[in-house]
A and B are shown apart, each in its own frame.
Chain A
Amino acid sequence: MLRTILAYVGQFKRSALMAPLWTALEVLMGVLIPYVTASLIDKGLMAGNIDAVWKYGAIMVGIAAVSLFFGIMSGRESARSSAGLAMNLRGAMFDKIQTFGFADIDKFSTAGLVTRMTTDVANIQNAFQMLLRISVRAPLNVLAGMFMSLFINLRLSLVFVGAMAFLAIALYFIVSRSMKIFTELMHKYDDLNNVVREGAAGIRVIKSFVREKHEGLRFRAAAEVIYRLNVAAETIISFNQPVMNIVTYASMIVLSWFGAKFIVGGSLTTGQLTSLFTYQMQILSSLMMLSMIFVMLTQSVASGRRIAEVLEHEPCMKEPENPLTEVPSGSIDFEDVSFSYADGGNPALMDIDLHISAGERIGIIGGTGSGKSTLVNLISRLYDAGSGVVKVGGHDVKEYSFDAIRGAVGVVLQNNTLFSGTVLENLRWGDPEATEQQCLEACELAAADFVGELPQGLGTIIDQGGANLSGGQRQRLCIARALLRHPKVLVLDDSTSAVDTATDERIRRTFASRIPETTLLIISQRILSIKDADRIVVMDDGKICGVGTHEQLLAGGGIYKEIYDMQTSGGEADFDNL
């Protein structure tokens, strides 16, 4: 995990190495000061030599100034490298998510991915910066302090050794216990974020049912869990302080006792005792800092693991080694295809055998949950078939590069999304090079000419989720966007449900006359939308239960006839196009 994360220091490696180096130099300078002080006291003050005072004083000023410079450099480099690491991690995760299949995204959940890219990365960034600045400073301080103390007085320094051993054991217990809780905590933050997300997204539902308080309680419950875990973790950590204090104080007292005896005995000077006090403080406060780093690291270990999970996740589908980059034609073959969303779950598709030739228009109809969407999602390899083979243009879809297969198969999803930005920007998702003229033509083809009537035309800004457009307008824009790809196969997954029947028919007519070579698959609830298709596929419960023309299927009776009767007897006028 650590290696995975640290690999992303990348181009900031130089900064990451320079930062501790500067810190080390800063520490070395700092350590010298108390030693020089001892000389100043013993050789200047105690000996009554004012020249020595000036001499040692000047040395100390010099040391302090140099140390300051090193400190500033270290701060700068560590800021750069930690911010850089965060940037690289965010970028890498974002890129990684781009390689995820639908199933991978389902696995991590949107909220989970967002937390990982934000809070977790921030944790790692802070921890890394701490690591660079303090992980070098603290041990070096300890080592240098120890060295200087040993140099001053070997026997008294043994006090430090005892103190450190005690501290190390105590810290071990504190860190290992709090670690577990922090790991759990991160999962609970996911839950909390989820409530916020749903609250913001579903605000209309909440308000229309007057459920603001209810949601508040739900949030409160999630916040309560986080409160309890945080209190538990922090309580364990709060033992740090007293343990530290006790060790510091105990060693101070022991030092005072033996120090006094040694000075009286003549084996130690007053100045040296002063330096020992200073070193002892320095050593122990460095250890304290180290323990703080441990706590921060424990918090970030969980974050790091969650980031690594994303980075190391094997996407559920991969491009082949030497992919085909050209889809020769718009023919589609399903050969004994079965599929289920979860391993061992209920099959969503069973034994599908269907052959569609290029340029054919296929209508697909069937009840809710009958597998219509699942079927078409396999064509552009949004999911991989569980068993059997799906072929487009005569080749298994797994032989193509993603760009090739998805460029050749245009899909207008049932839950179509527009992105914040202008209409033009959204349309250019289809073809980044499309001119405004081409975009307007695509709109015309998709009966989305309303774009011309928008206040800023193609430049009109679309709000997040397309909130400022009606459902029908969104659908038609999505169709236009797909058309700009000039696909060999075009799939409309119930994409005209909010479009009135007249416009729906107009779209289909223009398709027939303007892009006759494109294989067209239309999923619809309306018989009207598909009855002119070359063939109609009727689906029920994951299986194909009828294929044929409108007339053939009507004559055959069954589900198709049933749907037809219901839709015609009730009358099926549409009032969207007044």
Chain B
Amino acid sequence: MFRDWKWTLLTVAVLIVISTLCTLAMTLFTRTLIDGYILPLSAQDAPDFTPLGVALLKLAAVLLLGTAASFFYNFLMIKVEQGTIKQLRTDTFNHLMSLPLRYFDSHSHGAVMSVFTNDMDTFRQMVGRTLPHLFSAAITLVSTFVSMIVLSIPLTALSLLCAAGAMVVAVTMSKFSRRYFKGRQENMARVNGYIEEMVSGQKVVKVFSHEAQAARGFADINKDLFQSVFKANRVANTVMPINAGIANLGYVLIAIAGAYISLHYGTAALTVGTLVSFLTLHKNFSRPIAQISQEVNNIAMASAGADRVYDLLDEVPETDNGRVKLVKSGADGWFWKDGDKLVPQKGLVSLKDVDFAYVPEKQVLYDITLTAYPGQKIAFVGGTGAGKTTITNLINRFYDISDGEIRIDGFNVFDIEKPSLRGSLGIVLQQTDLFSGTVMDNIRFGRLDASDEECIEAAKLACAHSFIMRLPDGYNTFIEGDGGSLSAGERQLLSIARTAVADPPVLVLDEATSSIDTRTEKLIQKSMDSIMKGRTSFVIAHRLSTVRDADYIVVLEKGHIIEAGKHFELLESHGKYWELYTGGKL
């Protein structure tokens, strides 16, 4: 994680060492001041303060250097801190994007967002504050320790004893608090998930006057969160006073011991200046220990957050062992490139004995076998839950089949690179998710290098042009991701335009037209027909008009193909399709 910052961190380390040594010079100066100047000068009749003045000026220079060093390492650490967190954020987001759909099926948006806000934030604090503090504390600890040994070995032993005590406290506490912090983060994620769900569904909450119940449900988990936050912080807040207590105790013990030594064994064993200096040093010695134990707490907190960031990063991304690529070769159009072999992209899609289950115990598709020849229009019909949508999700490998095989132009979909595979399939989904940005941005989402003219052309094809022109800023109108300002029909028109601009060789249309008014829908049907011309298309259909002129109609029931063929063939066979068609449903 810090690899990119190797040299910066090295500079920071050097600067921290310099700044720490300079600080130390200050502490040691107390002894020189008392033993070297004050006591001798007191004994003189006409004391000359010039040497003291010179010594103080020298000290000032050293301290200035130390200050400069500390300023620069702080400055550099900001870049490291913010740069690292930016990198981590971006990497985590990119990783999120690479995860299979199953991850999103089982993780609420709120929980995902909590990783990016709360967890990432605690993590940032660890990188930015805790680590430099720890480092600086460690340096102070070592340099102070050396100076203490130089001053007095017995007092150092005493000081170490206190340090050991503080250490034990810190370790015990962090073990203790880690559990609480984990609970805290978990409850935090639950609260966030609930907030996200309820705030997004707020309109339904209102319609059902369900505000009180929603608030009550929230009150419960909010209380849980309070409990776990209280417990975690209570432990964390105890560390500081305990360490301060131990430091105070040590200070007292050293003062007593020092005085005792000095009085019993004479000032040769321990001068007053040494004792005063040592007392300051002991404070310096115990302060980093207190700091370290405080930071250990912070790390416990950050690592609970980091665990969840890493949990996300540890999620296995979609695998892609495909080797076949989709390439454009001049004017000849698209080709599948398998090593050196070029096979023209035609849009021949075949499924053979395909079985599928979202969860092992519940199979949803059985022995699906069908072939779509280039340019054909395949219509899926069947009740809800029959598996129409699932089949299309398998072709583009949103989910992987359990058994059988799916081939496109002879290539097993497992051998095709996912970007090429999905790029060759244009899909209009049931859910029309748009993204914050202008209308133009949203259309261009289909093909990033499309010109404005091409986007407008696609919008015209999808009959979205006229409503877009009625928007306040036309194509430059900014829309929010949830598309709040657009009607369902308008959102669908946009999503169709988005697919139209992608110009894909194979199309999947999934109930795309269900909530567009009849007039608009007629126009879309017409334009869709013209896009579908020459392309293999899979249509999950409601309307007879769509089904009737399909080249191949697949009738599904509970995951099985029960009938398939052309409209008139199916009518002649007097099966389910015929039943429906003649059943006077119209």
A19 to B542, CA, bound (A): 67
A417-B201 in contact (CB<8A): yes
A420-B93 in contact (CB<8A): no
When the two chains form the complex, which single residue of B49, B60, B226, B276 contacts A253, counting CB atoms closer than 8 Å? B60
When the two chains form the complex, which single residue of A223, A413, A414 contacts B515, counting CB atoms closer than 8 Å? A414
A414 to B233, CA, bound (A): 45
**A212-B433 in contact given A45-B259, A277-B30, A575-B547 (Cβ < 8 Å):** no
Q: Which residues of A contact B26 (CB under 8 A)?
A: 249, 252
B101-A114 in contact (CB<8A): no
A510 within 8 A of B: no
Closest to A54 in B: B256
A563 within 8 A of B: yes
B518-A525 in contact (CB<8A): yes
A203 to B548, CA, bound (A): 33
**A30-B244 in contact given A54-B256, A91-B219 (Cβ < 8 Å):** yes
Say which one of A148-156, A159-167, A193-201, A548-556 lies at the interface with B: A193-201
A525 to B516, CA, bound (A): 7
Closest to B420 in A: A210
When the two chains form the complex, which single residue of A216, A273, A382 contacts B207, counting CB atoms closer than 8 Å? A382
The B-contacting residues of A in range 29-43, CB under 8 angstroms, are 30, 33, 37, 40-41
A577 within 8 A of B: yes
A471-B384 in contact (CB<8A): yes
When the two chains form the complex, which single residue of A214, A231, A369, A429 contacts B79, counting CB atoms closer than 8 Å? A231
The A contact surface, by secondary structure, is helix
Tell me how far the C-beta of A206 lies from the nearest C-beta in chain B, rounded to whole angstroms: 7
Tell me how far the C-beta of A543 lies from the nearest C-beta in chain B, rounded to whole angstroms: 15
A563-B518 in contact (CB<8A): yes
- B 67-95 to A, binary, CB cutoff 8 A, 1 in contact else 0: 11011001100110111011001100110
**A64-B489 in contact given A407-B209, A572-B586 (Cβ < 8 Å):** no
A105-B418 in contact (CB<8A): no
A465 to B471, CA, bound (A): 29
A91-B435 in contact (CB<8A): no
A238-B74 in contact (CB<8A): yes
Say which one of B6-14, B142-150, B343-351, B423-431 lies at the interface with A: B423-431
A567 to B516, CA, bound (A): 13
A83-B233 in contact (CB<8A): yes
A98 to B59, CA, bound (A): 64
B218-A226 in contact (CB<8A): no
When the two chains form the complex, which single residue of B78, B203, B209, B276 contacts A234, counting CB atoms closer than 8 Å? B78
Q: Which residues of A contact B83 (CB under 8 A)?
A: 227
A74-B241 in contact (CB<8A): yes
A256 within 8 A of B: yes
When the two chains form the complex, which single residue of A57, A68, A273, A574 contacts B255, counting CB atoms closer than 8 Å? A57
B382-A578 in contact (CB<8A): yes
When the two chains form the complex, which single residue of A86, A195, A238 contacts B71, counting CB atoms closer than 8 Å? A238
- B 297-310 to A, binary, CB cutoff 8 A, 1 in contact else 0: 00000000000000
- B 97-130 to A, binary, CB cutoff 8 A, 1 in contact else 0: 1100100111111101110111001000000100
B555 within 8 A of A: yes
The B contact surface, by secondary structure, is helix
B370 within 8 A of A: no
- A 170-199 to B, binary, CB cutoff 8 A, 1 in contact else 0: 000000000000000000010011111111
Q: Which residues of B contact A189 (CB under 8 A)?
A: 117
Q: Which residues of B contact A226 (CB under 8 A)?
A: 86
A443 to B183, CA, bound (A): 39
A87 to B230, CA, bound (A): 10
Tell me how far the C-beta of B93 lies from the nearest C-beta in chain A, rounded to whole angstroms: 4
B275-A45 in contact (CB<8A): yes
Tell me how far the C-beta of B523 lies from the nearest C-beta in chain A, rounded to whole angstroms: 10
A347 to B398, CA, bound (A): 42
Q: Which residues of A contact B210 (CB under 8 A)?
A: 429
Q: Which residues of B contact A261 (CB under 8 A)?
A: 49
B68-A242 in contact (CB<8A): yes
Q: How many chain A residues touch B (Cβ–Cβ < 8 Å)?
A: 180
B70-A368 in contact (CB<8A): no
When the two chains form the complex, which single residue of A33, A100, A455, A570 contacts B545, counting CB atoms closer than 8 Å? A570
A44 to B70, CA, bound (A): 39
Q: Which of B121, B214, B487 has the most CB of A within 10 A?
A: B487
B586-A571 in contact (CB<8A): yes
- A 234-249 to B, binary, CB cutoff 8 A, 1 in contact else 0: 1100110110011001
A223 to B87, CA, bound (A): 9
Tell me how far the C-beta of A2 lies from the nearest C-beta in chain B, rounded to whole angstroms: 22
A41-B38 in contact (CB<8A): no
A20 within 8 A of B: no
Say which one of B190-198, B328-336, B401-409, B530-538 lies at the interface with A: B190-198
A210-B384 in contact (CB<8A): no
A64-B384 in contact (CB<8A): no
B272 within 8 A of A: yes
When the two chains form the complex, which single residue of A79, A91, A450, A528 contacts B233, counting CB atoms closer than 8 Å? A79
Closest to B37 in A: A260
A314 within 8 A of B: no
- A 356-399 to B, binary, CB cutoff 8 A, 1 in contact else 0: 00000000011111100100000010100000000000000000
Tell me how far the C-beta of B391 lies from the nearest C-beta in chain A, rounded to whole angstroms: 14
B252 within 8 A of A: yes
Q: Which residues of A contact B64 (CB under 8 A)?
A: 246, 249
**A216-B94 in contact given A76-B234, A202-B435 (Cβ < 8 Å):** yes
Q: Which residues of B contact A195 (CB under 8 A)?
A: 93, 436
Say which one of A117-125, A326-334, A434-442, A511-519 lies at the interface with B: A117-125
A6 within 8 A of B: no
Tell me how far the C-beta of A554 lies from the nearest C-beta in chain B, rounded to whole angstroms: 15
When the two chains form the complex, which single residue of B201, B362, B423 contacts A210, counting CB atoms closer than 8 Å? B423
Closest to A371 in B: B487
Extra contacts, 5 of them, besides A87-B225, A481-B208 (Cβ < 8 A), are A41-B276, A76-B238, A198-B433, A245-B70, A473-B385
A-B contact pairs, 30 of them (CB 8 A): A53-B263, A65-B245, A67-B241, A79-B229, A102-B203, A119-B121, A192-B89, A194-B481, A200-B107, A202-B435, A202-B481, A207-B101, A208-B425, A209-B422, A209-B423, A212-B98, A214-B448, A218-B435, A223-B93, A238-B74, A253-B60, A259-B38, A260-B37, A260-B41, A277-B276, A373-B487, A417-B201, A570-B522, A573-B547, A578-B577
Question: Which 7 pairs from chain A and chain B are nearest by CB?
Answer: A71-B241, A75-B237, A68-B245, A368-B489, A202-B433, A575-B381, A98-B211
